[in-house]
Amino acid sequence: MPDTRAENFTPALGKHWLTPFYDLAVALTTRERAWRNALINLVAPEPDEHIVDIGCGTATLDIAALQKEPLAQLTGVDPDSNVLAIAARKTAQAGVTVKFIEDYGDALASHLPRNGVDKVFSGLMLHHVPTRTKLSIFKSAFTVLKPGGMIFIADFGEQKSWLAKALFKTIQTLDGFDTTQPNAEGILPVLLQDAGFAQVREVKIFFTPVGTISLYSAQKSPGHNRRSKYEQYGTTFQP
């Protein structure tokens, strides 16, 4: 039976034949050192923490996370077998181990324990997917995160100035307007809250030649699984 799921994602650079050029394109166009370092500093990996990278692509962020903390446990999730082949080569060359899962970001609970993951992060992936998928990916991350666990996102966020909006048109032309325009209008923090996350913050904004990249953080509330003392009266309200 043909694998129709293969048609359900946008590859790293919009077209499959461009995937081998992805790392070079990101390096040349996005000031990647600035936003990647800031994202990994925010993730602040600790020994033995289980950290999941959604839409890991060529695993640049996983390698950086493991270079910062070699004892962290990294899992990279991506539906594209071609990009995961590049990721496997790069991690082997870097001498680090990442567990790769070939699947979509909204299927985390079929591979990972519920309430079992310490941190989730994602870089430049959410502008590739429709709004309903952005939300289901956030819900999927919420399900696998431990109470108190954090999510960190680096992606094209709200394009606040006319210049940022104009520059972002290059990405929109490459990756499609349907999935990128909601990002440009600032949907990501709203969807994080819709998925149940608290403490949603836009931590930093990076101006790049192709629009602004925002860094967001949010938390699954530490008391999420605590039983309410008012449950006996028929409410789940958590004071």
Ligand X SMILES: C[S@@+](CC[C@H](N)C(=O)[O-])C[C@H]1O[C@@H](n2cnc3c(N)ncnc32)[C@H](O)[C@@H]1O
Query: For binding to ligand X (CB under 6 A), which residues are involved?
Result: 9-12, 26, 54-57, 60-61, 77-80, 83, 104-105, 123-125, 128-129, 133
* Least distance CB 196 / ligand X (angstroms): 19
C-beta of 41 vs 161, nearer to ligand X: 41
Label the pairing between strands 98-102 and 73-78. parallel
C-beta separation of 70 from 91 below 8 A: no
Q: Which residue is nearest to ligand X (CB)?
A: 57
* Least distance CB 112 / ligand X (angstroms): 14
H or E segment at 200?
strand 198-208
* Least distance CB 231 / ligand X (angstroms): 35
C-beta of 105 vs 149, nearer to ligand X: 105
Instruction: Write the DSSP symbol of residue 228.
Output: P
Provide the Cα torsion 101, 104, 110, 116; round to 10°: 70
Count CB neighbours of 71 within 10 A.
Answer: 10
- What is the amino acid identity at position 91? T
* Least distance CB 49 / ligand X (angstroms): 19
C-beta of 17 vs 230, nearer to ligand X: 17
C-beta of 87 vs 164, nearer to ligand X: 87
Provide CB contacts within 8 A for 111, sequence distance 6+: 77, 101, 103
In angstroms, the CA 205 to CA 195 distance is 23
* Least distance CB 226 / ligand X (angstroms): 31
C-beta of 102 vs 221, nearer to ligand X: 102
In angstroms, the CA 208 to CA 214 distance is 11
